[in-house]
Structure formats: structure tokens, C-alpha cells
Amino acid sequence: MSERAEDCLAREFNEEVGLSIEIGKFLFACEFIQPPLHSIELFFEVFSLNDQLRIGSDPEPGGPSIIQAVKFMAWNEIEKLPASQRHGIFKYLDHPSKITTISGYFKV
């Protein structure tokens, strides 16, 4: 099956956290390498079309869903998280709210 990145993103948001989204501009890409994982992540602006945030399912092959909780967080809450609990892209920012101001290809 062939699926555009934007269609996959909308489907994943719906499946994993119950949100219908509108997709904005492409922001940046991250290469994540932490054996045995190696992935390329594409980041887009997204806008929620509903407030139905819920724990969905992440049907990864060979195991149960890894999603245990979901919630919206304010920038100051993200900033207070230990670095080990934040996405690696935040090391390139002086404040989490600037996430939409960066572009390019990052290795995290």
C-alpha cells in the first residue's frame, strides 16, 4: 500500500490519540539512531480539529501498544521535563515554543 506522508500522519494521529487534524507546513526532519532503532522523522505543523484526546492504539508488530498516557502540555511543562524525557530536537532550541521556527535536517 502506498500512502502519502500527510495521509499517514493524519491516520496515525487518529489511531494513536483520537485527534482529527489539519496539516500545516513541513517544518524539519530528524534522523534518530538508537540501536536497534534507526528512523527518519518528519515534522509538520498540525492543528487539532477536535478535542477528543484519548489513548488509542499503536499496533506495532510483535508487541502490545506502548501508549500508556496522552495529554496536552504547556511549553513551561515541557521545559521542566528532564532532558531524557524530551525529544532530542529540543537540544537545538533555547525554548520549546520555538519548535516551529527551525528548519533543516537534524541528527538526534
For residue 29, the domain's CATH number is 3.90.79
Amino acid letter for position 74:
A
Integer Cα distance of 89 and 107 in angstroms: 8
| Per-residue pLDDT reduced to its tens digit, 37-53 | 899 999 999 999 998 89
Domain range for 27: 5-107
**% the chain with pLDDT above 90:** 78
Task: Give the count of domains, the chain.
Answer: 1
How many Cβ atoms sit within 10 Å of the Cβ of residue 87?
Answer: 15
Q: How far is CA 46 from the centre of its chain?
A: 10
Dihedral sign computed on CA atoms, order 53, 55, 57, 63? positive
Q: pLDDT tier at 18 (50, 70, 90 boundaries)?
A: very high
| Per-residue pLDDT reduced to its tens digit, 19-37 | 999 999 999 999 999 899 8
Integer Cα distance of 94 and 68 in angstroms: 29
Order across the sheet with 21-34: list the strands. 37-48, 21-34, 104-107
Residue 41: closest CA among 31, 33, 49: 31
